Amino acid sequence: MIQQVTRGIKISVETRFEGMFYKDHRIQNAFAYKISIENQSNDAVQLESRFWKIKDSLNNIQTVSGEGVVGKQPFLQPGEKHTYQSGCLLTGSFGAMNGYYTMLNFSTTKKFKVKVPSFKLSASYALN
Segment 8-29, tens digit of pLDDT: 999 999 999 999 988 888 889 9
Segment 55-111, tens digit of pLDDT: 999 999 999 999 999 999 999 999 999 999 999 999 999 999 999 999 999 999 999
11 burial type by CB count under 10 A (0-12 exposed, 13-18 middle, 19+ buried): buried
At 118, which amino acid appears?
S
Longest dimension (CA), the chain: 51
- CATH number corresponding to 2-119: 2.60.40.1470
Q: What pLDDT is recorded for position 26?
A: 85
The conformation of residue 20, written as its DSSP 8-state character, comes to E
Q: Are 107 and 44 in contact (CB under 8 A)?
A: yes
Q: Are 74 and 46 in contact (CB under 8 A)?
A: yes
